[in-house]
């Protein structure tokens, strides 16, 4: 029978507070993690520049969440102006986002 993994229940605010505990208040990563109830390894990853899982590009995903949001905004703006962007126009916009 496979072991079940512990599911942490913490918010991004908890993680931000733990990072502030380390950077501003001199706590060690294990102390800050325990104090705020966040995973120690995740906290260390964040300190080393790794973003939140929902912000990372997934293997089959080409655009980041912020790029998707920009694309959706552009499409909705075009629609509000009375233009329906064609598939090729959307594809060209995506290619432009990927080149940035």
Each residue's pLDDT tens digit, 44-78? 988 887 777 666 555 666 777 888 899 999 999 99
Which pLDDT score is estimated for 9?
86
Q: How far is CA 1 from the centre of its chain?
A: 33
> Does the pTM exceed 0.75?
no
Taking 60 as the threshold, does the pLDDT of residue 83 lie above it? Answer: yes
């Amino acid at each position: 029978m496979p072991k079940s993994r512990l599911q942490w229940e913490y918010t991004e605010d908890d993680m931000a507070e733990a990072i502030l505990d380390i950077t501003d208040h001199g706590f060690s990563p294990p102390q800050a993690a325990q104090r705020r109830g966040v995973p120690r390894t995740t906290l260390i990853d964040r300190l080393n520049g790794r973003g939140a899982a929902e912000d990372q590009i997934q293997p089959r995903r080409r655009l980041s969440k912020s790029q998707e949001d920009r694309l959706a905004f552009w499409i909705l703006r075009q629609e509000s102006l009375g233009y329906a962007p064609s598939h090729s126009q959307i594809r060209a916009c995506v290619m432009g986002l990927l080149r940035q």
